[in-house]
Amino acid sequence: MAEIKTMEINQGVEAFRKTPGAVLYDVRREEEYATGRIPGSRNIPVQMAAKMLDEVPDKKTPLFIYCLSGGRSHRAAAFLIRSGYEDVTDLGGINDYKGELEV
């Protein structure tokens, strides 16, 4: 079984942008996502993480996951690894992100 990779969020967003075919997931609640998000991210709240399995059926797709402070992103990343995904990176929380946000 693959292991969850971790990366500091600012470095991780750069890695996401440079990785062909990568998907960036924000696993916060919809209301949180609406207040500001990293450009290019998709929102699936952690309690609905199973939707990611339908959205990204290829288990080799590089997935980058973040939330507010890191707890939910870790849970979602662990779920994806257990579901067979091979390239999952937990970026922790958007609280530490220094780049531009979109609303």
Yes or no: say if 73 and 65 are a contact pair by the CB < 8 Å rule.
Answer: yes
Which residue out of 49, 65, 67, 76 is catalytically annotated?
67
Residues in the chain, pLDDT under 50: none
φ/ψ of 80, rounded to 5, equals -65, -40
Q: Could you tell me if residue 66 is inside a domain?
A: yes
Check which CATH number belongs to the domain holding 36 and give it.
3.40.250.10
Total domains, the chain = 1
- Reduced to 3 states, what is the DSSP secondary structure of residue 1? coil
CA distance 56 to 32: 23
Yes or no: say if 22 and 63 are a contact pair by the CB < 8 Å rule.
Answer: yes
What pLDDT is stored for residue 1 in this prediction? 78
What pLDDT is stored for residue 45 in this prediction? 98
Q: What is the per-residue pLDDT across 63-79, written as a single tens digit (0 to 9) for each?
A: 999 999 999 999 999 99
What pTM was estimated for this model as a whole? 0.97
Q: Could you tell me if residue 98 is inside a domain?
A: no
Partners of 67 in beta bridges: 93
- Reduced to 3 states, what is the DSSP secondary structure of residue 69? coil
What pLDDT is stored for residue 44 in this prediction? 98
The encoded tokens of residue 14 equal 């750069």
Q: Could you tell me if residue 101 is inside a domain?
A: no
Q: Could you tell me if residue 96 is inside a domain?
A: no
Of 46, 102, 101, the closest CA to residue 70 belongs to 46
Instruction: Give catalytic status of residue 67 as yes or no.
Output: yes
